[in-house]
A and B are shown apart, each in its own frame.
Chain A
Amino acid sequence: MSLQTSPTSTGASADDATAGRSRRRLPQWASVAAFLAAALVAVLLELLGEFNIALVVIYTVVLGTVAAYVVSRVVEGRRKATDRLVTCLVVSAFGIAVVPLVALVWTVVGRGIERLDGEFFGSSLVGIVGEGGGAYHAIMGTLIITLLTTLISVPIGLMTAIYLVEYGRGRLKRSITFLVDVMTGIPSIVAGLFAYALFALFFGPGIRLGIMGAVALSVLMIPVVVRSAEEVLKLVPNELREAAYALGVPKWRTIVKVVIPTAIAGLGTGVTLAIARVVGETAPLLITVGITNGTNLDPFDSRMASLPVYAYYQLTQPGVPPEYAIDRAWTAALLLIMLVMGLNVVARLISRFFAPKTGR
């Protein structure tokens, strides 16, 4: 493979066509060497000025890509060089995507870890000016609203998925599938406005209730549940259904006793991921549930606090000594990330440990 070429390749640039056809290859370490050289140059450049790690990385990637391209172009010809160039670009694209993820987690953990203490979990904001205070009321609010959302969304979503997989046919099935897809794209704020408009028609304008938030979030959660449940139910082997029918089991009992138990791991994973998706939603809760400083555990009576909205208001309206509220906001953001990541991990664990026991 790696045919070592002499570095004095004056003939290579003479004729591009011959160079392209020639069997000369750069050794495998050539790209690595190019990037190391580029890193060295970048560090030297930066040592002359003031040292900035981000610029060093950027210079290294740019210079390394250019160096690899030029060397390869001279030695291997145009086609190979383009190939190397694209490889470099594709790898750096992935690198670029990882930067915000790392930076975000780093920032949020760094600024939020300070107030992640007992008081944050144990107390609300009643009578708090400045230091101390917590998000007990917001955490409870988020739990209650999310629970209600799940109670609304899972039956509707699951039954719709069952309809689509087991019963549906023709126009109705096609239009439901299509509209579920479209519903996935409803902006969260529009879902919030819908819940507000719905309740405002019955209870008058200015209404704020916990249940409104649950309705708004359900609009966002139902399509996610339907999609994932549909995928999972489709995976249940037809032989199982046929075996049940052959034994004279009614269709509904087949679904309840055979299909759903077989798919239960996937359903659990799907529902958990759907919860993870809505638990951090801020906009719909901002306009339907509002915010309070005290603890309100009744979703059918006036405003409630919730973690994302709490974080939003603590950051944007921090009050007079602003630093304490801003610290609380970051801790709430950290808690949100932990909640979402935790739910993601739980989803993976469910699919691993409750995998169907039927033979594959």
Chain B
Amino acid sequence: MTATRTPTEPGAAKPVRRPGDRIFAGSAKGAGILILVILAGVAAFLIAEALPALSAPSDDIPGGEGLAGYVLPLVFGTLLSAVIALVVATPLAVAIALFITHYAPRRLAQGLGYVVDLLAAIPSIVYGFWGIAWLAPKLVPFYQWLEDNFGFIPLFAGPTSSTGRTMLTAGLVLAIMILPIISAISREVFLQVPTLHKEAALALGATRWEMVKMAVLPYGKSGIIGGAMLGLGRALGETMAVALVLSVSGGITFNLISSGNPSTVAANIALEFPESSGIDVNTLIASGLALFVITLAVNMLARWIVNRRADFSGAN
């Protein structure tokens, strides 16, 4: 991990401390500590502004069912959309990473990787525009087909939304948005797989897929898991695409293709905040605090998994 040790302080001999050095080192350290302060500040200020909502009588909270009654359906919607995105995106992203690292012609591989990275560069509001105007209408016949043939599954019970702006559409847009994150991290670990492992598998007569199954995937497993969790973190906090694409009615439902959908925390804040005042603002900030805690936990876990991989990596 720390391949480059800086050649400072050569052991016994204590270097001369010049004032310039002290100022520079101090400001560098200060900047580093500022990062910690900012992160702590995010938590502190959110809590400070959320407190009025936490202590307010439940009638004052929008919806009239208290803070938990307001936030829980949102958290449910957030988790549902993120899980859909994750289920769709993870296999695709792993396959794409495999394609770029092990299947595509060497010469093209880098360019193709750049194409996938472009997906990450597009602003989320543009995904929202595209989701409403292109994807949602195109998915309506597909949803109709799902309802006709798989209507007995509660997920596809329908009735099909005529606009296509459903939970499943939002999940699919999110899947496209997190695809480049998961595939970038998977790609990185796949490239680290020791060549000897792969050559050993091939020398034993394995086909390419068997080589991938035996050498690449086991080695990259924790990278894939970590990447998927980072993608999950992104999907949980994604705002504008969901705010635009999802047609919201509130409530908790597992029906993915009807026009009645729970909102997500982030999208709800974006939609409600500009018109809110007083206790409503505090309520929204409290829901944002919940989102912050959830994504922080997911991201910490993901980073821990990815970093553990780096420590054990025998490749270098």
CB <8 Å contact, A104 and B112 = no
The contact of B45 among A107, A155, A197, A316, by CB within 8 Å, is A197
Q: Which residues of A contact B285 (CB under 8 A)?
A: 193, 196-197
CB <8 Å contact, B42 and A167 = no
What DSSP secondary structure best describes chain B's contact surface?
helix
CB <8 Å contact, B126 and A250 = no
Q: Which residues of B contact A100 (CB under 8 A)?
A: 119, 130, 135, 176
CB <8 Å contact, A160 and B32 = yes
CB <8 Å contact, A311 and B129 = yes
CB <8 Å contact, B4 and A282 = no
CB <8 Å contact, B4 and A165 = yes
Q: A103-B134, A287-B273 are in contact. Are A87 and B129 (CB under 8 A)?
A: no
Cα A329 to Cα B240 in complex, Å, equals 14
Whole-angstrom distance from the CB of A61 to the nearest CB of chain B? 13
Cα A156 to Cα B4 in complex, Å, equals 22
Give the interface size bracket for B toward A.
35 or more
CB <8 Å contact, B95 and A90 = yes
Asked if B209 lies at the interface with its beta carbon under 8 angstroms from chain A, I say: yes
Instruction: Tell me the B269-292 residues at the A interface (CB within 8 Å).
Output: 269-270, 273-274, 277-278, 281, 284-285, 288, 291-292
Closest chain A residue, CB of each to CB of B36:
A179
Asked if A96 lies at the interface with its beta carbon under 8 angstroms from chain B, I say: yes
CB <8 Å contact, B270 and A280 = no
Instruction: Tell me the A104-156 residues at the B interface (CB within 8 Å).
Output: 104, 107-108, 111, 155-156
CB <8 Å contact, B134 and A93 = no
Whole-angstrom distance from the CB of A102 to the nearest CB of chain B? 10
Q: A93-B95, A183-B39, A197-B49 are in contact. Are A336 and B103 (CB under 8 A)?
A: no
Instruction: Tell me the B130-154 residues at the A interface (CB within 8 Å).
Output: 130, 132-135
- Chain-B contact segment, one of A29-37, A76-84, A350-358: A76-84
Whole-angstrom distance from the CB of B312 to the nearest CB of chain A? 17
Interface mask (B212-251 → A, CB under 8 Å = 1, otherwise 0): 1000000000000000001001101111100110000000
CB <8 Å contact, B32 and A176 = yes
Asked if A57 lies at the interface with its beta carbon under 8 angstroms from chain B, I say: no
CB <8 Å contact, B49 and A189 = no
The contact of A107 among B29, B98, B133, B179, by CB within 8 Å, is B133
Tell which of A96, A187, A238 has the most Cβ of chain B within 10 Å: A187
Q: Which residues of B contact A283 (CB under 8 A)?
A: 124, 239-240, 243, 266, 269-270
Q: Which residues of A contact B238 (CB under 8 A)?
A: 187
Asked if B157 lies at the interface with its beta carbon under 8 angstroms from chain A, I say: no
Asked if B107 lies at the interface with its beta carbon under 8 angstroms from chain A, I say: no
The contact of B123 among A111, A166, A241, A336, by CB within 8 Å, is A336
Q: Which residues of B contact A87 (CB under 8 A)?
A: 103, 208-209
Cα A159 to Cα B96 in complex, Å, equals 36
CB <8 Å contact, B210 and A155 = no
Tell me the total A-B contact number using a CB cutoff of 8 A: 290
CB <8 Å contact, A107 and B130 = yes
Asked if B254 lies at the interface with its beta carbon under 8 angstroms from chain A, I say: no
Q: Which residues of B contact A156 (CB under 8 A)?
A: 31, 34-35
Cα A89 to Cα B237 in complex, Å, equals 30
Instruction: Tell me the A184-208 residues at the B interface (CB within 8 Å).
Output: 184-191, 193-194, 196-198, 200-201, 205-206
CB <8 Å contact, B4 and A280 = no
CB <8 Å contact, B208 and A182 = no
Whole-angstrom distance from the CB of B226 to the nearest CB of chain A? 11
CB <8 Å contact, B292 and A186 = yes
Cα A139 to Cα B154 in complex, Å, equals 46
CB <8 Å contact, B123 and A189 = no
Q: Which residues of B contact A93 (CB under 8 A)?
A: 91-92, 95-96, 99
Q: Which residues of B contact A183 (CB under 8 A)?
A: 35, 38-39
Tell which of B28, B34, B278 has the most Cβ of chain A within 10 Å: B28
Q: Which residues of A contact B132 (CB under 8 A)?
A: 315
What DSSP secondary structure best describes chain A's contact surface?
helix
CB <8 Å contact, A197 and B134 = no
Asked if B3 lies at the interface with its beta carbon under 8 angstroms from chain A, I say: yes
CB <8 Å contact, B6 and A241 = yes
Q: Which residues of B contact A104 (CB under 8 A)?
A: 122, 126-127, 130, 134
Q: List 28 A-B contacts (CB under 8 A).
A: A89-B95, A91-B103, A93-B91, A94-B95, A94-B99, A101-B118, A103-B134, A103-B135, A157-B31, A162-B28, A163-B28, A166-B6, A179-B36, A181-B299, A182-B303, A185-B234, A186-B296, A187-B292, A188-B237, A189-B239, A193-B269, A193-B284, A219-B42, A222-B38, A252-B21, A252-B25, A315-B244, A337-B122
9 residue pairs, one from A and one from B, having the closest CB atoms: A187-B237, A280-B123, A93-B95, A159-B31, A252-B24, A185-B299, A163-B28, A83-B207, A283-B239
Residues of A within 8 A of B (CB): 79-80, 82-83, 86-87, 89-91, 93-94, 96-98, 100-101, 103-104, 107-108, 111, 155-160, 162-168, 172-173, 175-176, 178-191, 193-194, 196-198, 200-201, 205-206, 219, 222-223, 226, 234, 238, 241-242, 245, 250-253, 255-256, 276-277, 279-283, 286-287, 290, 308, 311-312, 315-316, 329-330, 333, 336-337, 340-341, 344
Sample of 6 more A-B contacts, CB < 8 Å, known A94-B104, A205-B278: A101-B122, A159-B28, A179-B39, A187-B291, A234-B3, A287-B270
Residues of B within 8 A of A (CB): 3-4, 6-8, 15, 18, 20-21, 23-25, 27-36, 38-39, 41-42, 45-46, 48-49, 91-92, 95-96, 98-100, 103-104, 112, 115-116, 118-119, 121-127, 129-130, 132-135, 176, 179, 183, 207-210, 212, 230, 233-234, 236-240, 243-244, 266, 269-270, 273-274, 277-278, 281, 284-285, 288, 291-292, 295-296, 298-300, 302-303, 307
